[in-house]
Amino acid sequence: MNEESPGVWAEPQKILVVLAHPDDPEFFCGATLARWARAGHRIHYCLLTCGDKGGGMDVTPQELCTDRRQEQRRAADVIGVAEIRFLDHEDGYLVPTLDLRREVVRVLRQERPDILVSCDPTNLFPSSGYGLNHPDHRAAGQVVLDAVFPAAGNPHYFPELLAEGLQPHTPREVWLALTAQPNVVLDVTDTWEIKLQALKEHKSQIGDPVEFEKRMRARHTEDSRDDAPRYEEKFRRILFH
């Protein structure tokens, strides 16, 4: 681990991203994930829902689930993600219960990531132009933090998982996206185009692709210009080892 350059590791890392919906990884931190994939790290996604409420009256939840799974796979291929799993909880109804915590602990012990990525559960107002943070986002971040500490690395939590052959495991670092309290800011200008192309695969969610691209390109830093943009992604990083 390079303390002077967070997110830069000398050896290949296994990185697990646990978030609520398809498209959350790309929206929250897609340029960072693309950067890590291109540095040789192995990235897996675990999504708690399949986004079955992310549409209007002209489509059923079942159709949405199928469509959004496919969109997520295509977007993940653009990023360079190795594997995706869906826990298939109902979109919009996530609650950080003990049962869901157990499921996430199970995933952590199965996957045994070096680096865990989720989102900040305390962020009710993620930006001045975004309104309210989705309750599923906050529930996902909360259950992930509750799972990683103290449960995932402690054999006395959920002993039934030991009976499944799943040994305790604590990731070395946790990175929380969508945070109002960042302690790491990464310049992701070089991979912003990859993030944008991945997001375009979420066709059911982005509306008019031309207008969407215009909005995304406008998210450059205040100290840069449209003709020479610079982009950042921000995280709350927590170290466990």
Find the largest Cα–Cα distance for the chain. 58
Residue with tokens 């971040």: 141
Phi, psi at residue 115, to the nearest 5°? -125, 130
Phi, psi at residue 91, to the nearest 5°? -55, 135
Domain ranges of the chain: 14-239
Helices vs. strands in the chain: H and E counts, helices first? 8, 7
Q: What is the mean pLDDT of the chain?
A: 95
Residue type, 44: H
As a whole number of angstroms, the distance between CA 90 and CA 6 comes to: 35
- Does 59 score more than 80 pLDDT? yes
As a whole number of angstroms, the distance between CA 219 and CA 230 comes to: 9
CB-based contact 170:214 (threshold 8 Å): no
Q: Which of 9, 16, 30 is nearest to 79 (CA)?
A: 30
As a whole number of angstroms, the distance between CA 131 and CA 76 comes to: 27
pLDDT bucket at 3, cuts 50 / 70 / 90:
low
Residue 57 or 182, more confident: 182
pLDDT bucket at 241, cuts 50 / 70 / 90:
confident
Residue type, 177: A
Q: Which of 109, 108, 113, 133 is nearest to 123 (CA)?
A: 133
pLDDT bucket at 126, cuts 50 / 70 / 90:
confident
Minimum mean pLDDT range among 23-32, 40-49, 50-59, 149-158? 50-59
Q: Per-residue pLDDT averaged across 124-145, rounded?
A: 88
The dotted CATH code for 14-239 is: 3.40.50.10320
Cross-strand partners of 19? 47
As a whole number of angstroms, the distance between CA 143 and CA 148 comes to: 9
pLDDT in tens, 221-238: 999 998 999 999 999 999
How far are the Cα atoms of 26, 118, 177, 200, 227 from residue 186, in angstroms, in the given order? Answer: 15, 16, 11, 22, 20
- Does 128 score more than 90 pLDDT? no
